[in-house]
Structure 1
Amino acid sequence: MHSLSGGDFEVVILGAGMSGLCMAIQLQRAGIRDFVVLEKSAGIGGTWWDNRYPGAQVDVPAPAYSFSFAPNRHWTHRFADAHEIHAYQQRLVEDHGLLPHIRLGHAVVEARFDAEAGRWRLSLDDGSAISARFFVCSTGPLSRPRWPDIAGLAGFRGRLLHSARWPADADLAGQRVGVIGTGSTAAQLVPALAPAVARLSVFQRTPNWILPCVDRRYGRLDHWAMRLPAYAALARHAWVQVLELGRRGFDEGTLARRLMIRAAAAHLRRQVADPALRARLAPTYPLGCKRIIYSNDYYRALAQSDLVTAPIQAVTATGVQTADGREHELDALVCATGFDTVRPLAGLRIIGRDGQALEEAWRGGPSAYLGLTVPGFPNLFLTLGPNTGTGHTSTLLFIEPQVAHVLACMERVRQEGRRWIAVRADVFAAQDAAVQRRLAGAVWSHCSSWYRDENGRIFAIWPGFTGEYVKAVRRPDAAAYELG
């Protein structure tokens, strides 16, 4: 492996999370070893390096959160904790010999396409420069923390934390702690914090749909069975099908939807005895419009906490002031407010074939052909790009066919002796318009969420079932691309 500074590579992969690791493994399997994985963090893992807050875990069954080519027999629970997922990622690196290809602590600040050479020229944050024929952005949509836009936040004199940048020394035991945000992250964080802190104030803007989590601990028999390739594949397939049934719950009038709504109502009644508190926790938007939360202990933790539903007016030096005139004095304030999904590549300037920057192409909102590539940006591929998010299943089910698609495009360029490949503008526009038409009347259009931008465009979610996406993506349509 040659040195990074001044290096010329066949492929540069940006990000060492799940999609970046999958891309690297499949490159090796295809016989392509001239690649480098650039990761801005101090360790691999992507979102699982960033999200190490107390209680962090995956919200789909673990067998579905491992690659089809690399089943994991080490899961201890059906819903794996963050440290278990990170351990799985470490094993992927070790088992596939990826360490020599990974460069930690390196961020790309600019990528410019050289049309004459058919190469991407990349400038790094340390002043060095490299080039690559193919540039794969595997940063994903959940990489840049989003801080709430609240007056006075920067002036808070206590400890200010974000769930996606949780420090190892964050011991909040015995303190007065506030949590802003009540989404998936908070549903995991709040139960972990509640027993340890002196007082927990949870600031809720919108109550969410919460279903019971069918978690269980895996025993010796499970671990033995997972050593059998046929059983591991069957367990993964079975859970994938269960998750697809859950997707039917997003469609109005289906039996799955009726059952899920009833299950959520029953769960709320069982866990919250106080009718007044129950009313404050009842969601007011349609099921599925935001990501559904699966938790057995969130409601119980809220019952032991101070649930604040009055709007936040400002953050003061010593706490949070709400519109009802109360000031909630705090020693620490935690922002469980998610990620900047509208600008996932902010801080990286990507300039295409005709000198246009990607941020300019995305002025109307992030969009890409099948979430993978953008016209005018040859040899650039995104994984988990626009409109490839899922509200019901494992992202790994989308990553694997995306990687297969990218590899097929790379192979075509090499086989035909070309310099570059790019999606045709008309094909991209037609596919994007078709996706937006389907989304216009879907459940995700009925509320505000991180799936939508400020103009209401749904840029994150795939409108159909997983199988439909896999079929559309795995083998590229030759007519959809132009070569140069």
Structure 2
Amino acid sequence: MDPAAPHTELDVVILGAGMSGLCMAIQLQKAGFMDFVIVEKSAGIGGTWWDNRYPGAQVDVPAPAYSFSFAPNADWTHRFADAPEIQRYQQRLAQAHGLPAQMRLGRAITQARFDAGAGRWRLLLDNGERLSARFFVCSTGALNRARWPDIPGLADFQGRLLHSARWPTATNLAGLRVGVIGTGSTAAQLVPALAPAVAHLSVFQRTANWVMPRVDRRYGRLDRWLTGWAPYARFTRWAWAGVLECSRRGFDEGTWTRRFMQAAAASHLKRQVADPTLREALVPPYPLGCKRIIFSNDYYPALARPQTELVTAGIKRATARGLLTADGREHPLDALVCATGFDTTHPLAETRIEGLGGQRLADAWRDGPAAYLGITVPRFPNFFLMLGPNTATGHTSTLLYIEPQVQHAIACMQRVQREGRRWIAVKADVAAAQDAAQQQRLAGSVWSQCRSWYRAENGRIVAIWPGFTRDYVRAVRRPDPAAYALG
């Protein structure tokens, strides 16, 4: 990339127009950083809620906790909001703050290189446009690169091949023989939506998951009127955040919360699945919390429908007509849906990012992604991650993590400006010490006891935060000046 080539000069470039990107942009405005752009590879805003348009897509935490503290939403129709509602909330936020004019939609950043002499990031877009920014914020999170299953012969399948995170609009599978690979949170929403309409539904399960009842209800006029009153909206968000935080204790062995959740899940399975053979196949073989818990009232009933079959034999390979399982049976399919989630171990792999001395982020993350408090990476100055490594949560809303991350990043930017410096970067020894302590906590946790998207292939836990939300907020909200070097 030629630094002398014509380029647009900016204060901040934000990669990604999902929840964290919108929050960053709004808070930058409040902090007086008006010269920024948001670069988004999709044709519209929404991030994961743009990508995940499959039937039945919903958030799995109560909606009051899935809105920002500075922007309560009085328009939720249910306690657990569906994907279109969430996207409408994001669109209203963007419009209210004039963000569409500062977006480059349908564009991807292919290269980003830090120019230490100038203290600026030089960025190249896929249309040839060049940007130069003092600060570079990656707000893509971990759930943005769809992961296809590693099944021999998948390219030979001649039916419709779909991924839940790349769902085509106006897709109609009614009357077809449909297979679904995966039984995680996405499948638990997708399967009930598909089951009533298809001719036959084959659900291919590698591992049964813990399923809890979903305490959902429809919001009426009184709820929406009350939410329009700011004190009530703040209280409701705080109350639900507190309830979710209590559920975090369910991940710790020996707690009464854990025993209660285990009993509730067992009762839910027994109540909803009458067939003892099917019920036995749905008992999870790993400790509660090791994978993300599913909250659903219609997943088990969908599996018990006469046209639905739960397939527990391993998939051997794909054929032109369907899937061949390890028991020698071929399952004929007209369409195959891969509800196999995202590649969380290679984030930002589509962008070549170079820090000091030409250090590539991909090389720094060769053994798995790592960042100081999930936000900053040694030798990558003026570079901030939103929902970066080890900031996922298995019990609460990601928005409770996004807001303090944004505050942390902006405080770092303000320090650079205030002290008249070119750049700021976390010290390598500080980042290493924090990561070592974090991995030590995770090594003895429930998340080390099974295979999940929280872990890399080498066993390193790269996604989950080991503690409570309050611990993270306390650690992140105000940057420790001693943790950072300035240049």
Q: TM-score range by the shorter chain?
A: over 0.9
2:59 equivalent in structure 1:
58
* 2:240 is equivalent to residue 239 of structure 1: yes
**Distance apart, 1:32 and its partner CA:** 1.0
Amino acid at match of 1:351: E
**Distance apart, 1:100 and its partner CA:** 0.9
2:3 equivalent in structure 1:
none
For 2:364, which of 334, 342, 361 is the aligned residue? 361
* 2:413 is equivalent to residue 431 of structure 1: no
**Distance apart, 1:366 and its partner CA:** 0.4
Distance 1:186 1:476 in 2: 39
2:345 equivalent in structure 1:
342
Distance 2:379 2:328 in 1: 53
Distance 1:366 1:108 in 2: 19
2:482 equivalent in structure 1:
479
**Distance apart, 1:347 and its partner CA:** 1.2
Amino acid at match of 2:339: A
**Distance apart, 1:68 and its partner CA:** 0.2
For 1:18-73, what per-residue CA distance to the aligned partner results, in whole angstroms no more than 9, with x for missing partners? 00000000000111110000000000000000000000000000000000000000
For 1:367-393, what per-residue CA distance to the aligned partner results, in whole angstroms no more than 9, with x for missing partners? 000000100000000000001010000
Amino acid at match of 1:198: A
Distance 1:432 1:344 in 2: 18
1:351 equivalent in structure 2:
354
Amino acid at match of 1:215: D
Unaligned runs of 5+ in 2: 1-5
* 2:401 is equivalent to residue 405 of structure 1: no
How many residue pairs get aligned? The number is 480
**Distance apart, 1:169 and its partner CA:** 2.4
For 2:323, which of 304, 316, 320 is the aligned residue? 320
Distance 1:223 1:169 in 2: 31
Amino acid at match of 2:220: G
2:373 equivalent in structure 1:
370
**Distance apart, 1:103 and its partner CA:** 1.1
For 1:330, which of 303, 316, 333 is the aligned residue? 333
Distance 1:283 1:160 in 2: 28
1:46 equivalent in structure 2:
47
1:270 equivalent in structure 2:
271
Distance 1:344 1:335 in 2: 20
The equivalences for 1:130-169 within 5 A come to: 130-169=131-170
Distance 2:327 2:427 in 1: 55
1:178 equivalent in structure 2:
179
Amino acid at match of 2:480: D
Amino acid at match of 2:459: G
* 2:417 is equivalent to residue 421 of structure 1: no
**Distance apart, 1:325 and its partner CA:** 1.0
For 1:223-245, what per-residue CA distance to the aligned partner results, in whole angstroms no more than 9, with x for missing partners? 11101100000000000000011
Distance 1:348 1:209 in 2: 36
Secondary structure of the residue aligned to 1:354 is: helix
Distance 1:348 1:95 in 2: 30
* 2:5 is equivalent to residue 7 of structure 1: no
How large is the Cα RMSD of the aligned pairs? 0.6
For 1:169-222, what per-residue CA distance to the aligned partner results, in whole angstroms no more than 9, with x for missing partners? 210000000000000000000000000101000000000000000000001110
Distance 2:242 2:136 in 1: 33
**More divergent stretch after superposition (78-87 vs 122-131):** 122-131
**Distance apart, 1:464 and its partner CA:** 0.2
Amino acid at match of 1:211: M
The equivalences for 1:447-462 within 5 A come to: 447-462=450-465
2:205 equivalent in structure 1:
204
1:101 equivalent in structure 2:
102
1:25 equivalent in structure 2:
26
Q: TM-score w.r.t. structure 1 length? A: 0.99
**Distance apart, 1:441 and its partner CA:** 0.2
Amino acid at match of 1:352: G
Distance 1:13 1:160 in 2: 33
Distance 1:32 1:128 in 2: 22
Secondary structure of the residue aligned to 1:195 is: coil
Distance 2:17 2:485 in 1: 29
**Distance apart, 1:74 and its partner CA:** 0.1
Amino acid at match of 2:70: F
For 1:156-178, what per-residue CA distance to the aligned partner results, in whole angstroms no more than 9, with x for missing partners? 10000000000012100000000
* 2:86 is equivalent to residue 85 of structure 1: yes
Secondary structure of the residue aligned to 2:356 is: coil
Amino acid at match of 2:165: A
Distance 1:380 1:340 in 2: 22
Amino acid at match of 2:230: P
Distance 2:357 2:440 in 1: 29
Amino acid at match of 1:422: A
For 1:366-422, what per-residue CA distance to the aligned partner results, in whole angstroms no more than 9, with x for missing partners? 000000010000000000000101000000000000000000000000000000000
Q: TM-score w.r.t. structure 2 length? A: 0.98
Distance 1:154 1:128 in 2: 35
1:260 equivalent in structure 2:
261
Amino acid at match of 2:417: R
Secondary structure of the residue aligned to 2:21 is: helix
**Distance apart, 1:354 and its partner CA:** 1.4
Amino acid at match of 1:308: V
For 1:443, which of 446, 456, 464 is the aligned residue? 446
Which consecutive aligned stretches of 4+ in structure 1 deviate over 6 angstroms post-superposition? none
**Distance apart, 1:97 and its partner CA:** 1.2
**Distance apart, 1:6 and its partner CA:** 2.1
Distance 1:76 1:254 in 2: 34
Identity %: 74
Distance 1:163 1:209 in 2: 21
Amino acid at match of 2:467: G
Distance 2:340 2:469 in 1: 27
Amino acid at match of 1:67: F
Distance 1:73 1:155 in 2: 48
Amino acid at match of 2:96: D
**Distance apart, 1:96 and its partner CA:** 1.1
**Distance apart, 1:426 and its partner CA:** 0.6
Distance 1:325 1:182 in 2: 22
Amino acid at match of 1:321: L
Amino acid at match of 2:187: A
Unaligned runs of 5+ in 1: none
Amino acid at match of 2:410: L
2:301 equivalent in structure 1:
300
